[in-house]
Amino acid sequence: MNRFIYSLLLYLLLPLIPLRLLWRSLRTLEYRRRWQERFAFYQGESPEVKIWLHTVSVGEFVAVIPLIQALIEEMPAEEILVTTMTPTGSARVQETFGGQIQHCYLPYDFLSAVTRFFHYYRPSLAVVMETELWPNLFHACGQQKIPLLLANVRLSQRSMEGYQRWAGGLVNEALQQVDWAAVQSEADGKRLVSLGIARSRVEVTGSIKFDLTLPEKLGQQGDELRSLLGADRPVWIAASTREGEERQVMQAHQQMLKKIPNALLILVPRHPERFSSVAKEGRNAGLVLIRRSEGEVCSEATQIYLGDTMGEMLLFYSAADVAYVGGSLVPTGSHNMLEPAALGKPVLFGPHRFNFAEISQLLIDQGAAQEVTSASELADQLIQLLQQPERRQQMGAQGVRVVEQNRGALQRLLTGVRHQLKEAQKVN
C-alpha cells in the first residue's frame, strides 16, 4: 500500500468518524467535545511552539512527564505542546500541568488536517512517543522541514510482522522522515531497521519507564488507604484490566476466597467508560463490591474494591500486597508492570505480554515476577504469595533492584532532544 491509496481509504471512511465518536460518547461524554481539534480547525492567534510531543494516551503521557518537566526548566512552558488521542490522556495532561503548556488532540491523519496543524502551531521539533506511525503526519513533517524524533520506541515482533504484511511500503516511506529514533532495546532497533529506517538514525537509549518518579508522600497515602481497606487483611490488585479479563480475575478471586476468606481485591479497569459495567458484572457474580467514587465504607464483608477513579493507580498499588497487571490474560499485550515493581510489590501477569516482552522477561529472570496462564493459576499464585510474606518480600526487593539498575534512559533521551533542537534552531 502506498500513501495515496492510504489517504483515499481514509477519506472514504470519513463519514464513519463522527458516528464512531458518537458511539464512544455513549460511554464517555468527552468524545462529543472538541471535534474541531480532531480535524485541526483552530481559533485565535497561533501560539509559538518550540517542541511538540505526542503521547497517545495516559500511560505514554505518564512516562514522559519527567521529560516535559526537564524541558520546562530550560524553556518557557508555553513553548511546549503536548497532544493526545483520548479524553483520559487529555484530562491527565490538564491535571498535571494545567495551563502551563499548550495542549490539544492530535488531528486524524488526513493530509489537509495535519498540514493545518503544523501551519497553526509551527513547532521547531516533533517528538512522537513509542510507536505511533502516522504516514501523512510524518510526510507533513518532512514537507514542513520539521525534525522528527521517535522516543522510547518499542516494537514487538508481532507488530513488525503486521506492518510488513499489510503496510510495508507505507511504513518504510514514513520512517524515511524520522531524523532520530531512540529505542528501548537492541531488538526494538533491529525490528525498526527491518521496516526501513537507516541504522545510523537509531540509538538504543533504554526505556524511560524505568525512570519513573514516585510521589514523596505515596507510602504514607498508601498506608492510609490500606487502613481504610483493612490493615490486617490480605489485599491484591488487578490493574488496567481489559474487557473479558475481569471475569477471569473475579473467578480467581472467588477461588482464592475459599482458602483466604478475608482477602480483598482492588479491581481497576483500564477504561473509565467500563467502570459501571464491571461493577454490575461483579455484583452479578455474587461478590460484595463497592466503588471508590461513591465513598462507600469498606467493611469486612467487602470482597471487591472497585478503583473507578482516575490518576490513583500508584496509590492503589501502594496499598496492595500483590499486583496483577492486566491486558495480559487477554491478547492485548499487557500494560506497564514497572510501577508495582518500583513499589516493591510482587508482580503477576498473563502470557499475552508482547508490548512489554523484554521488560516482563527481565522481571521474571530476576525473580521479581511470575507468569500465569489462567484464572486458576492466578488464584494458586496469589494464595502462595499472600501466605508467604518472605517470598513476597524477596520478589518485591528484586523488582526495586531491577528498576534502579536500569534507570538512565530519560537522561539519554533528554540529551538527544536537546541536540536535535539545537540543530533545528541552527537551520531556522
- C-alpha distances in Å from residue 60, one per residue of 84, 303, 312, 366, 426: 9, 32, 16, 25, 30
Q: How far apart are the first and last CA of the chain?
A: 34
> How many Cβ atoms from other residues are within 10 Å of residue 19's Cβ?
9
Residue tagged active-site, from 60, 79, 245, 246: 60
Among this protein's residues, is 60 annotated catalytic? yes
Angle (deg, nearest 10), helices 389-405 and 375-387: 100
Location of C-alpha cell 514537507? 143
| Dist. CA 55–CA 57, nearest whole Å | 6
From its phi and psi, is residue 157 left (phi > 0), alpha (psi between -120 and 50) or beta? alpha
Compute the chain's Rg from CA coordinates. Answer: 22
| Dist. CA 212–CA 251, nearest whole Å | 32
- C-alpha distances in Å from residue 353, one per residue of 80, 150, 212, 263, 350: 33, 22, 20, 27, 7
Q: State the DSSP string of 135-175.
A: HHHHHHHHHTT--EEEEEE---HHHHHHHHHHHHHHHHHHH
> How many Cβ atoms from other residues are within 10 Å of residue 389's Cβ?
10
List, by residue number, the catalytic residues: 60
